[in-house]
Amino acid sequence: MARLNLPEWFGKIIRRYTIDWVMHKVIERSHAGIDWADGTKLVDLDFADDIALLDESVQNVQHFTSVLEEEASRVGLYVNPDKCKVTVSNTWSGTADIHVQGSTVEVIDEFCYLGSYILHNGNCEQDVKVHIGRASSTFGKMKKVWGNEHTNLQTKLRLYEALILSTLLYSAELWPLTVTLSKKLEAAHAQVAERHSWYHLEG
């Protein structure tokens, strides 16, 4: 058997199309999903090569998962139970046991994906805390820049907005912010003006 040395990007494209094809087959065979107001359903979410299956009952999630295993096996894909997780909302009642390859999938309250935390109760407090910490760390590493008299004010402000604010507010448009969390973000931003005259003068 000859082995083709294909580019890595080509393999990723083939894998992505294969997963999409598998999910199309799975959706055809199941009626899972969360109902939208317009009568349509939100069935799954894609996280790069990972798939999040959505439903409002454990029975449907289990059926959904079993069909996924079956359809994936037809094209040589395998669902690894050790890498699967179950997260339920705080309105969920009853068991959340889902089985993959004969193993019970671990139930977790939160998981981190691409730097963002998804919690069972929809709270974004962990995200805010982490982003404030990252922004503060990045800011601290640039002390020489902030204190450099040869770097003009506009350059410092542009660096602050591009590196610090972008880190602090990354994906913030998706956060269900409370008044308390909003004040924490504002306080983190305001600390800069209090400690650095160059920002205070511009603000």
| pLDDT tens digit at each of 203 positions of the chain | 333 454 676 567 777 788 888 888 888 888 778 888 888 888 888 776 778 888 888 888 898 899 999 998 888 888 888 888 888 876 666 677 889 888 898 888 888 877 788 888 888 889 999 999 999 899 889 888 888 888 888 898 899 889 999 999 988 888 888 899 999 988 888 876 666 655 544 54
pTM above 0.75, yes or no: no
What pLDDT, on the 0 to 100 scale, is given for residue 77? 84
What pLDDT, on the 0 to 100 scale, is given for residue 61? 87
What pLDDT, on the 0 to 100 scale, is given for residue 183? 92
What pLDDT, on the 0 to 100 scale, is given for residue 7? 61
What pLDDT, on the 0 to 100 scale, is given for residue 110? 83
3-state secondary structure the chain: CCCCCCCHHHHHHHHHHHHHHHHHHHHHHCCCCEECCCCCEECEEEECCEEEECCCCHHHHHHHHHHHHHHHHHCCCCCCHHHCEECCCCCCCCCCCCEECCEECEECCEEEECCEEEECCCCCHHHHHHHHHHHHHHHHHCHHHHCCCCCCHHHHHHHHHHHHHHHHCCCHHHCCCCHHHHHHHHHHHHHHHHHCHHHHHHC
Instruction: Enumerate the domain spans of the chain.
Output: 8-108, 117-202
